[in-house]
Amino acid sequence: MSEYLSLLMFPALIGFIFLGLQISFAMMLSAAVFGYLVFEDVVAYQLLSKIEETASNSVLAAVPLFIFMGAMLEKSGIAERLFHAIHLWTKRLPGGIGVGTILLGTIFAAASGVVGATEAVIGLLAIPIMLKHQYDKRLLSGVICSSGSLGTAIPPSITVIVLGPVAGVSVGQLFNGLLIPGLLMAGLFILYVILIAYFKPAMAPSGTDTGPQITLSEKLKVTVTALLPAAALIFTVLGTILLGLATPTEASACGAVGAVLLSILYRSCSLSVLWESVLRTVNISAMILMIVMAGNMFAGIFFATGGMGTVQSLLLDSDLSRYSVLAMILGIAFIAGFLLDMMSVVLIIIPVAMPIVRLLGFDDIWFCVAFLVILQTSYLTPPLAPSIFYLRAISPASITLKHMYAGVIPFIGIQIVVLVAILAIPELATWLPKKLSTANW
């Protein structure tokens, strides 16, 4: 009977969230209530063991370090330097400001991995310039939301660092598998902006360059001083992980130190910058790690009460094809992305889905990459899109929700195209991990 009782944990969780409980507390309460109904007092030991398991997970040490790295790049003004350097080279392209914004999103995602932080930084830098050049507010909204969402699809993604241990998959291998789809998505975003600006110039006016003319040597100087140090920092983090030279935790530590050294190099490091970066790191890390701990409690009780076996038997005895089961899992993840944040979706669905995925014979890396693209798509999809709520918080009143909802639709379509490509051509996600795992460095 307990295995069927455990299935009620999901509607109970949704009910607690709608009653106003924070997601982490809703998961802990659901785990405690259903665990007590089945195991009585023993549930306390089970929940405490999950706290210890989360606290002793060395991979999760990378989370605050990556967050600190991104916070330092933002607070010290390095991100603003990057945007200026990129804009110098893209401003003559159709939709050049939009192209530069997406490129900044790609670079900042590769240096931070935190979705909300990426969108906030990009929005604060790009919105005033795009409004000044009279960009269509729908296109503006879509560009900011989509480029901010690249923090999920471009490694090192914080979501991947959480997903890897839960799925029983190497975080480094997941980073390898995510790189090509993530860059493909960013490339398609840029192509869309260029095409829409070329065929509908009123949506992305190029404007007139009223500032002083900058020579090629000056452009190169700005590029060398702004882009190359950031590129070196990204290689220190991402390159060492992809080449197998460092673990994600080691690379994140190098990235955090590198961000501080860069801020010192640019003479923008101060006690106030360090303090603000530390505060931001503590706030975001506490939120993420609390959700991870609560998710482990929820999943642990669900497994212990036999819920996993029940779900497996229901799906495998349903006479559905293995691709239909896969579509059902991804569909549930997409719907869950409307209601919960990414970490919660990972911690609730992945422990249930991964054993089924393996039983059906699908590749672990391939499924996890497709799962992450689905999460990123739900992150953009109205009406409950978190990306739109982030944009609403940093945009002026002239940019309405109607502009935002309309603006993200084409970019959602691009994400679906990337998802279909991953499902149809698994090598997009599996080729690079296999290539790098067999290389002798």
Which is more confident, 316 or 266?
266
**Confidence band, pLDDT 50/70/90 cuts, at residue 43:** confident
**Confidence band, pLDDT 50/70/90 cuts, at residue 115:** low
H or E element, residue 94 = none
State the average pLDDT for the chain. 83
**Confidence band, pLDDT 50/70/90 cuts, at residue 196:** very high
Rounded Cα distance, 119 and 35, in Å: 38
Q: Where in the chain are the domains? A: 2-208+226-438
Alpha-carbon dihedral of residues 110, 111, 112, 115, nearest 10 degrees?
A: -30
Q: What is the pLDDT of residue 299?
A: 80
pTM score, whole prediction: 0.81
Q: What is the pLDDT of residue 426?
A: 94
pLDDT > 80? residue 390: no
**Confidence band, pLDDT 50/70/90 cuts, at residue 78:** confident
Q: What percent of the chain has pLDDT over 70?
A: 93
pLDDT > 80? residue 35: yes
> From the centroid of its chain, how far is CA 336?
16
Averaged pLDDT, 170-197: 92
pLDDT > 90? residue 416: yes
Averaged pLDDT, 353-371: 92
pLDDT in tens, 86-101: 878 887 888 888 998 8
Nearest to 349 by CA among 327, 372, 329, 322: 329
Rounded Cα distance, 106 and 417, in Å: 19
pLDDT in tens, 237-295: 878 877 778 888 888 888 889 889 988 988 888 889 899 889 988 887 887 788 888 88
**Confidence band, pLDDT 50/70/90 cuts, at residue 410:** very high
pLDDT > 50? residue 194: yes
Low-confidence winner among 288-292, 303-307, 384-388, 401-405 (lowest mean pLDDT) = 384-388
pLDDT > 60? residue 421: yes
Averaged pLDDT, 222-234: 81
pLDDT > 50? residue 185: yes
**Confidence band, pLDDT 50/70/90 cuts, at residue 140:** very high
**Confidence band, pLDDT 50/70/90 cuts, at residue 441:** very low
H or E element, residue 37 = helix 23-39
Roughly how many angstroms between the first and final C-alpha of the chain, as a whole number?
53
Amino acid at 49: S
pLDDT > 70? residue 1: no
Q: What is the pLDDT of residue 204?
A: 86
pLDDT in tens, 363-388: 999 999 999 999 888 888 876 677 88
Low-confidence winner among 70-79, 146-155, 171-180, 207-216 (lowest mean pLDDT) = 207-216
Nearest to 156 by CA among 63, 274, 295: 63
Q: What is the pLDDT of residue 207?
A: 56
Q: What is the pLDDT of residue 438?
A: 62
CA angle 2, 343, 68 (to 5 degrees): 145
Q: What is the pLDDT of residue 440?
A: 44
**Confidence band, pLDDT 50/70/90 cuts, at residue 116:** low
Yes or no: say if 337 and 378 are a contact pair by the CB < 8 Å rule.
Answer: yes
Averaged pLDDT, 137-158: 86
**Confidence band, pLDDT 50/70/90 cuts, at residue 418:** very high
Which letter, b or e, does each residue of 43-54 get, where b requires 16 or more Cβ atoms within 10 Å of its Cβ? Answer: beebbeebeeeb
**Confidence band, pLDDT 50/70/90 cuts, at residue 113:** low
Low-confidence winner among 75-89, 165-179, 322-336 (lowest mean pLDDT) = 75-89
Q: Which two tokens stand for residue 311?
A: 């779900």
